[in-house]
Structure 1
């Protein structure tokens, strides 16, 4: 018997691996790869120097659009669009180029091929471009907001644009309850599904019971951008070392704030205790979590209002049973329970960070109990097996509704 054709899904994103082994945040790639078990998946993402225009990556048909001469394609990747704009203001000139390039590539693709659903990651630019390009009849449009587009793009005009986008989508998902509240503040009555981004908690981010944790080893993992709050963590490390505590900080990640953070560590006289190791792949990151005494997530609300939409690194650390100290922000409350699975502190407070780190280091038995409880919770709620199945079921419902 001939099986019916699988539904066809087009994924629009501005964050995606540029090549195999790239260290860009992998959540869109990992979700798309798992959705390929149910759908035929085609991905449209910005081009970057060194990347192929078209290729098949892990079973996904990937197309990358140009939006400027190759040397000037500096808006996406390496920290994300908002962070890249803050780093170099002239990059604002690239915004209309990116929008036009994505619109033109999408128009050509939609003329050539038929899709049952479009999954746009971020309200702006992806969902906006999809609407401007003209979503075909009988094609569902699902938009997933990850935080920066919702919290970080302020102003009356942008609020009006976001409300218009929400009204045109067949479905909307966000990755935390705090984001659902912000969506419904923007457009009261908007239907929103909360589906967090997942990670591999059964094969990659797992504990290593026989591995010994390095004493006084503090780990940060993530993009080096303002909302991650790494400068406050460096201040906390300087405070602890000034009190005679022999702590060392390892920073795994890259981003536009790298040189400023290096200069801060030098200025505070702790450069020898702060190791900037750059971006690392998942396997090495899991090993870092297994060896660290504590993983710290010192996130803050950035000057423009941008803040964490979820906090995937917390889930990954907890998956490895690494004790966690994190900022008390709304989205982080979806993952961590203060005193039970982590220690939460006020954001932008180096003294509170230092005290919480010291608490973990002084009582490793209590820290281990919290870490074991944390792993049990995140495996139940955030492993890719459950997350991908929820996205697949939602997409199939939306496709049925559109048809």
Structure 2
């Protein structure tokens, strides 16, 4: 096919700017936004013309180009929690006369997915949704946030999925957990991807530790992500504290920002673990590869079911040849279990954290086996492989 023959409209509430992940940024983008970016750029390298309809960090409408992808940003008036409020985002793609063969909306936070649905309805084009989560009502934050989220999760979301030509779940396990997916006429599984080259940086585990100022002989436990209660990082710290009492040659790095950050730092000081536990705050993409390569095991201790649909950090750890320990939820089990790239925690259970850390510390053969499985899994999830699956899906829907 000729270059640009298939014109895809990607709809998402927020989409990364250039250098978005080089440092902390007020324009919030996390896993779903990174997936949309990687997928859009990979598709644009092929025979697709890709336009992303999203919000701006400013009060102006802008059009920009990133790595072959056209980005149409609607003006934002304010922000609720981490979500840009761009009232015209819902109608701008229609009023600007944008022309798409197919709409692919990423469901994370509204109104991006609503804008995609409305465009597809008004222009009679196929409508595909990838479900990144965000269907559970969490009653915290400002009044405006709670009202908006209540309306979306309790009233709108099921109708949106019902109207989709096909819905995509990143994992088989999430199909079992999700109410919204049960309303879709058709559901398929396409996993998230990873850029293996970004994490295969050619340094040994010991060299990576030295570069980070960590004892190269130590056993390093790593967490990278948001520091919110649902992530269970306080449970990890409690478990690691007991683990460290057994094995004094162990270290812990907790990377990220969030509401628990100060509490975690206070706990570390009270327990006199400042030389053992490092909480550096947000870890930029430019540094994440080094941390992943330095780690002997990566831990994802989430305690809320449905909060993890397909965490990208699992693939990033795998690409760095780092085995993982993660909470036993259907979504996570369907990533780690079949690929045998790690083990499982009982969510919220400190003793389970201790036991799994001890297993990986004591059993070098198991660490090596899971390491080999991890890198093999990462290679099977490279973005060119994932983009081809989406391209084939678009073609099947159009036909």
Distance in 2 of aligned mates of 1:250 and 1:51: 40
Distance in 1 of aligned mates of 2:361 and 2:347: 20
Q: 2:391 corresponds to which residue?
A: 392
Q: 2:256 corresponds to which residue?
A: 253
**Can you list the C-alpha shifts for 1:21-40, whole angstroms capped at 9, x where unaligned?**
43543221111100112311
Q: Work out whether residues 317 and 324 of structure 1, in 8 Å CA contact, stay in contact via their aligned partners in 2.
A: yes
Q: Work out whether residues 299 and 325 of structure 2, in 8 Å CA contact, stay in contact via their aligned partners in 1.
A: yes
- 5+ residue gaps, structure 2, are 23-28, 140-148, 210-215
- 5+ residue gaps, structure 1, are 82-93
Match of 2:169 among 174, 177, 190: 174
Q: 2:26 corresponds to which residue?
A: none
What displacement does 1:14 show? 2.7
Match of 1:55 among 52, 64, 68: 64
Q: Work out whether residues 175 and 182 of structure 2, in 8 Å CA contact, stay in contact via their aligned partners in 1.
A: no
Q: 1:344 corresponds to which residue?
A: 344
Q: Work out whether residues 318 and 374 of structure 1, in 8 Å CA contact, stay in contact via their aligned partners in 2.
A: yes
Distance in 1 of aligned mates of 2:56 and 2:260: 23
Q: 2:301 corresponds to which residue?
A: 298
Structure 2 matches for 1:1-400, cutoff 5 A? Answer: 3=2, 6-22=5-21, 24-25=29-30, 26-36=34-44, 37-48=46-57, 53-68=62-77, 72-76=78-82, 81=83, 97-98=85-86, 100-109=87-96, 112-122=97-107, 124-125=109-110, 126-132=112-118, 135-149=121-135, 158-183=153-178, 187=182, 190-201=185-196, 203-206=197-200, 208=202, 210-212=204-206, 214=216, 215-243=218-246, 245-301=248-304, 306-337=306-337, 340-380=340-380, 382-398=381-397, 400=398
The list of structure 1 runs, each at least 4 consecutive aligned residues, that deviate by more than 4 angstroms after superposition, is: 2-5, 49-52, 150-157, 183-186, 207-211
The 3 A distance-change label for structure 1 pair 340 and 222 is same
Q: Paired residues, what number?
A: 370
What displacement does 1:130 show? 2.8
Q: Work out whether residues 221 and 253 of structure 2, in 8 Å CA contact, stay in contact via their aligned partners in 1.
A: yes
What displacement does 1:259 show? 2.9
The 3 A distance-change label for structure 1 pair 178 and 238 is same
TM-score (norm 2): 0.81
The 3 A distance-change label for structure 1 pair 340 and 195 is closer
What displacement does 1:245 show? 2.6
Distance in 1 of aligned mates of 2:17 and 2:79: 13
Q: Work out whether residues 135 and 153 of structure 2, in 8 Å CA contact, stay in contact via their aligned partners in 1.
A: no
TM-score (norm 1): 0.81
Distance in 2 of aligned mates of 1:31 and 1:114: 20
Distance in 1 of aligned mates of 2:376 and 2:339: 15
Q: Work out whether residues 198 and 384 of structure 1, in 8 Å CA contact, stay in contact via their aligned partners in 2.
A: yes
The 3 A distance-change label for structure 1 pair 232 and 183 is closer
Q: What secondary structure, in the 3-state scheme, does the structure 2 residue paired with 1:136 have?
A: helix
**Can you list the C-alpha shifts for 1:303-342, whole angstroms capped at 9, x where unaligned?**
xx64200122112112221122111111111221399431
The 3 A distance-change label for structure 1 pair 147 and 379 is same
Q: What secondary structure, in the 3-state scheme, does the structure 2 residue paired with 1:135 have?
A: helix
What displacement does 1:211 show? 4.2
Distance in 2 of aligned mates of 1:388 and 1:339: 21
What displacement does 1:124 show? 5.0
Q: Work out whether residues 12 and 113 of structure 2, in 8 Å CA contact, stay in contact via their aligned partners in 1.
A: no
Distance in 1 of aligned mates of 2:137 and 2:308: 9
What displacement does 1:168 show? 1.1
The 3 A distance-change label for structure 1 pair 327 and 207 is farther
Q: What secondary structure, in the 3-state scheme, does the structure 1 residue paired with 2:167 have?
A: strand
Q: Work out whether residues 218 and 294 of structure 1, in 8 Å CA contact, stay in contact via their aligned partners in 2.
A: yes
The 3 A distance-change label for structure 1 pair 200 and 50 is farther
Distance in 1 of aligned mates of 2:339 and 2:70: 45
What displacement does 1:254 show? 2.8
Distance in 2 of aligned mates of 1:103 and 1:392: 25
